[in-house]
Chain A
């Protein structure tokens, strides 16, 4: 479904991804964990074309998204974006639009649907995340958890083949994290969508992931089923990271 082949990414002098290789299968739920700065977010951002790789190839459903020598191809990126949904850590809702209009925005502005039909579809999607009663609210009137759920609905409304979640709960107050994770877990269990999630929430990762990939210093150090990686990590670095995360004190 998604392939990263020898992907490298420099930001100036900093090497963020180094010969990264990763394969994600159809309907797979892959969770990427790792320390800050390890390049996890960049992996997601490259796929949807918010960053450009320095070198390497990225493929989505067999179609090239990025190819050597990393030249910008708007057509290929557009094609990819139509099949991807992205949920940002900072939600990035449009503050001047109601929740409903936010969710409908892709249908209206990208797909060219007429507003009434789009808003009906959007309303249904909002029901999926439990926020149909808040359709007329503006983002500033919603809690962080509600805003993120609207953001999830906004991405879902476009019927993506692959959903990308970039630390969806890291910017939330602790008591709001649960409602968002619940929505994501529901999605994971009920749909055939491929999902790539970057998160620090280990218990959630264990519940939802088909595989967990540990990313460190720009490489996938190891990737395995949750049970395998959490109980019998093969690599030293994985062990160290998990130790620090699972038993902080």
Chain B
């Protein structure tokens, strides 16, 4: 067994004590970015899903084009574009705003597919009944379809929020002082990356894992009401 390398690991608890407050400040920003970007992607995703169903090609075609493009390019490229390229076109955004918009819009292409799946899973008969009763379209959506489609979509949407939480790490590339960004900064300043990055990883895990357990429980509840 080649475990010699373990002896080279020098974990310094006093260093941990020193850097923890900074890391937690970064973590707060991680959480904030997650909440904002999730809210954006949950709302925008629904709007996209509905717009894609529009019989008017003028509405649905550009949306299809834009979402395909966004989904087939890396999020990191999109973040760089928003933060570094848009200013040359006259649009300058704060790092956090750029990060939230980039992350939120990117993931709204995924949430829209989740909503679409939820909506498509609604039995045709529900539409037939609403039509036969002459419900106005808005009422059919608001009172028949969405109240059934959204609960079904919640587990997949929950998993998407968890994924976004982890992806906030990418925001460090556009100078957002979130958890990873702070961790790397500490590492660059002190030449000691072990504690900062390990703590960062532990913090990500500490939120991700229980969240995914909750989502699985939600999945079971939705499947067997």
Give the interface of A toward B (CB within 8 A). 48-50, 78, 81-82, 84-86, 88, 90, 92-96, 105-106, 109-110, 140, 154-155, 158
Q: Given A105-B143, A109-B139, A109-B143: A92 and B134 within 8 A (CB)?
A: no
The chain A residue with its CB closest to the CB of B142 is: A109
Of A90, A109, A140, which contacts B125 at CB under 8 A? A90
A50 and B148 contacting across the interface, CB-CB below 8 Å: no
Q: In the assembled complex, which residues on chain B have CB atoms less than 8 Å from the CB atom of A85?
A: 132
The B interface is mostly helix, strand or loop, or mixed, namely: helix
- Give the distance to chain B from A216, nearest Cβ to Cβ, in Å: 25
Nearest residue, chain B, Cβ from A110: B134
The 9 closest A-B pairs by CB, nearest first: A92-B125, A92-B129, A81-B134, A86-B132, A109-B139, A106-B133, A110-B134, A109-B135, A96-B147
Contact of A81 among B125, B133, B225 (CB under 8 A): B133
If A90-B125, A109-B139 touch, whether A50 touches B133 (CB-CB below 8 Å) is no
Residues of B with Cβ closer than 8 Å to A?
123, 125-126, 128-129, 131-136, 139, 143-144, 147-148, 225
CB A75 to nearest CB in B, in angstroms, measures 11
Residues of B within 8 A of A105 (CB): 133, 135, 143
Chain A-chain B contacts (Cβ-Cβ < 8 Å), number:
56
Interface contact A94-B131, CB-CB below 8 Å: no
- Whether the pair B147, A88 counts as a contact (CB closer than 8 A) is no
The distance from the CB of A93 to the nearest CB of chain B, in whole angstroms, is 8
Q: Are B143 and A84 neighbours in the complex by a CB distance under 8 Å?
A: no
12 A–B pairs (Cβ distance < 8 Å), ordered by A: A50-B128, A50-B131, A81-B133, A86-B128, A92-B128, A94-B126, A105-B135, A106-B133, A109-B133, A109-B139, A110-B133, A110-B135
Chain A residues near B225 (CB-CB < 8 A): 140
> With A and B bound together, what is the CA distance between A50 and B131 in angstroms?
7
Q: How far is the CA of A85 from the CA of B225 in the complex (A)?
A: 31
Which of B131, B132, B136, B225 has the most CB atoms of chain A within a 10 A radius of its CB? Answer: B132
Identify which of A81, A82, A154, A155 contacts B131 (C-beta below 8 A).
A81
* Chain A residues within an 8 Å CB radius of B123: 92
CB distance from B132 to the nearest CB of A (A): 4
**When the two chains form their complex, are residues B132 and A48 in contact, meaning their CB atoms are under 8 A apart?**
yes
A92 to B134, CA, bound (A): 15
Closest CB of chain B to A95's CB: distance in Å?
7
In the complex, what's the smallest C-beta–C-beta distance from A149 to chain B, in angstroms? Answer: 15
Partner pick for A106 among B125, B134, B148, CB 8 A cutoff: B134
- Asked whether A109 lies within 8 Å of B136 as measured between CB atoms, the reply is yes
Q: Which A residue sits closest to B135, measured CB to CB?
A: A109
Contacting residues, chain B, for A96 (C-beta < 8 A) = 147-148
A102–B20 Cα gap in the complex (Å)? 56
- Cross-chain contact B132 with A84 (CB below 8 angstroms): yes
Task: Evaluate contact between B131 and A92: CB separation under 8 angstroms.
Answer: no
Q: How far is the CA of A110 from the CA of B132 in the complex (A)?
A: 11
A111 nearest in chain B by CB position: B134
Nearest neighbor of A94 in chain B, beta-carbon distance: B144
CB nearest to A138 among chain B residues:
B225
Q: How far is the CB of A85 from chain B (nearest CB, A)?
A: 8
Query: In the bound complex, how far is the Cα of B144 from the Cα of A110, in angstroms?
Result: 13
Contacts A106-B133, A154-B133 known; list 16 others, CB within 8 Å.
Answer: A50-B131, A81-B131, A81-B132, A88-B132, A90-B125, A92-B123, A92-B126, A96-B148, A105-B135, A106-B135, A110-B133, A110-B134, A110-B139, A140-B225, A155-B132, A158-B133
Residues of A within 8 A of B134 (CB): 78, 81-82, 106, 110
Closest to B148 in A: A96
CA of A96 to CA of B150 in the docked complex: distance in angstroms?
Answer: 12
Chain B residues with CB below 8 A from A82, complex form: 134
In the complex, what residues of B have CB within 8 A of residue A86's CB?
128-129, 132
How many angstroms between the C-alpha atoms of A48 and B225 in the bound complex?
33
Residue ID in chain A nearest B225 by CB atoms: A140
Q: Which residue of A lies closest to B151 (CB)?
A: A96
**Closest residue of chain B to A82, judged by CB?**
B134
In the complex, what residues of A have CB within 8 A of residue B143's CB?
A: 94, 105, 109
Question: Chain B residue with minimal CB distance to A109?
Answer: B139
Taking the nearest CB of chain B, how far is it from the CB of A76, in angstroms? 12
| List of A residues within 8 angstroms of B126 by Cβ | 92, 94
Chain A: minimal CB distance from B92 (Å): 46
